[in-house]
Amino acid sequence: MCRLCSPLTPEAPCPTRRSFLKTAMVGGAAATTGLAGAGSLRAQEVAASTLPEGLGTPGRRVLIKGGAVLSMDDAVGNFAVGDVLIDGKRIVEVGANIEAGDAVVIEAAGKIVMPGFVDTHHHQFETALRSQLANGILINDGLPENSANYYETILQGFSQVYRPEDVYINELFGGIAQLDAGVTTVMDVSQIHHSPEHSDAAIEGLRDAGRRGVFGYFEGWGERSKYPTDAARIKQQYFSSDDQLTTMVMGGEIYVPGYEAAWKVGRELDLPIALHVVGTFGMQPTFDELGAAGMFGEDNIFIHMTGMSEDGWKYARDAGAHLSLSVPIEMQMRHGTPPIQRAIDMGFSTSLSTDVECTMTADFFTQMRSMMTLQRMFANEKALAGQEYPRLMPCIDAIRHATMGGAHGLKLDRKIGSLTPGKEADIILLDAEAINVAPLNNVPGAVVTLMERSNVDTVLVAGSVKKWNGQLMGFDIARLRSELEASRDYLFDAAGIERDLFA
């Protein structure tokens, strides 16, 4: 059981109605104090009372029935009214009308059934700092109004005072918040490895959220930091098997002195190597040199790729590297113009990512809308000027970047990213009868242009129910929020920064 969740552990199989009610009622009073915490558990009890009888019973298949199925697999196709059959953690059939005998039925009429979203870059350790840098930019430009910038305020300020317990609650809360929003997979970029204990806490928080997670082992600071050499211990202890929800990526930031050692360790351990690539951060010469030396490969995940040279782009493309775009953040924080069209024109494998919640929301509806509308804005400008213009991005392409694109980038496309028989059942059900969507006329259009996190009705990860009837299952949210607030208070105090709600 994780340190701070409710008595129903998220590592357990999806709950039966009876088991959930029993654990919530027996443990709820002991796990929380005050009516707010009890209310959180009561809301889960109400949702749990509507779980189909037999859901979570070992050996019972599950049939998601009668939804609008968006498979994201051209070979499987889509179904205006369709079913998805799950056996254990795997999808076994997708079709128009599946006969499944005694399978437990999840009624999906009025819902869009689709793969969960995949976030390829999220700094979850910063959850307690949400909105603190809403007006900030990436690096100091010398202007007084921009003195609170990301590099100095967050990385060289707040992050330096994190304790392992702060890392844990930030990771856990950030993870379950995204799970609530239908993001079933994340690559957590945890630049907080000041000690092995910090690393262990990050992994525990990522794992205890109960969703699919890729642990990004990036840098830390201080004399107790063991980055990058602790990677071998971490992989052996936590990631020795590929048949688990959590896997590992090596961080190889080229602005960190000695980055060559991180790349060497990562490749010795057969780990993908991820790094931020931002021209405004002065990375272009080193990046180009690495490309010219043949150091890039299909194992690379390049985040942002703003302001880079033509040569750098060609080296990355020719090596088959993956591109992770954080479009709202790139626009907001002065990373440079998001290179959406360049990535399309050059045929890059591309995904979406949320980056930092100290500046912008981590929900994926925002990511998809931002990518599509910015690409279309530039294309429409050319059209209005009478110039040749590129194909306008359709909604389905934005969804593809948010699902299969991310799965491919994280080397998980054989497991997730589409509703394909044989893949694991990371599935979300979106409410298409909600007041902000009804009546449903176009499935991809509704997902990208109308929906937001409140439309996420049900979430399954590897066939296990994590959210049901609009309620996260298995967490005492009120208690976790209290722990996150306590961490927030400590971090502000230790960093010597006053918390001003109206600054």
Q: Which residues make Cβ contacts (< 8 Å) with residue 75, sequence separation at least 6? A: 420
CA atoms of 302 and 107, how far apart (whole Å): 40
Tokens of 259: 């980055």
Q: What is the edge-to-edge ordering of all strands in the sheet holding 300-306?
A: 117-122, 183-190, 212-217, 246-251, 273-278, 300-306, 322-325, 349-352
Tens of pLDDT along the chain (503 residues) come to 455 444 333 444 444 433 433 333 233 322 332 223 333 688 888 888 889 999 988 889 999 999 999 999 999 999 999 999 999 999 999 999 999 999 999 999 999 999 999 999 999 999 999 999 999 999 999 999 999 999 999 999 999 999 999 999 999 999 999 999 999 999 999 999 999 999 999 999 999 999 999 999 999 999 999 999 999 999 999 999 988 999 999 999 999 999 999 999 999 999 999 999 998 888 899 999 999 999 999 999 999 999 999 999 999 999 999 999 999 999 999 999 999 999 999 999 999 999 999 999 999 999 999 999 999 999 999 999 999 999 999 999 999 999 999 999 999 999 999 999 999 999 999 999 999 999 999 999 999 999 999 999 999 999 999 999 999 999 999 999 999 999 999 999 999 999 999 98
Predicted confidence at residue 43, as pLDDT, reads 82
Domains of the chain (ranges; CATH) run 117-409 (3.20.20.140)
Contact 438, 459 (CB under 8 A): no
Which of 188, 128, 203 has its CA nearest to residue 495? 128
Predicted confidence at residue 28, as pLDDT, reads 33
CA distances from 142 to 155, 208, 412, 483 (A): 18, 41, 42, 36
Q: Which residues make Cβ contacts (< 8 Å) with residue 470, sequence separation at least 6? A: 47, 454, 456, 457
Between CA 15 and CA 172, with CA 244 as vertex, the angle to 5 degrees is: 65
Tokens of 31: 């796990």
Kindly give the pairing relationship between strand 90-95 and strand 79-87: antiparallel
* Three-state secondary structure call for residue 250: strand
* Three-state secondary structure call for residue 378: helix
Predicted confidence at residue 40, as pLDDT, reads 66
Which of 79, 46, 66 has its CA nearest to residue 107? 66
Contact 187, 214 (CB under 8 A): yes
Q: How far apart are the first and last CA of the chain?
A: 39
CA atoms of 320 and 313, how far apart (whole Å): 11
DSSP code string of 38-100 = HHHHHHHHHHHTTSPTTTT-TT--EEEEEEEE--S-TTT--EEEEEEEEETTEEEEEESS---
CA atoms of 137 and 187, how far apart (whole Å): 23
| pTM (two decimals) | 0.93
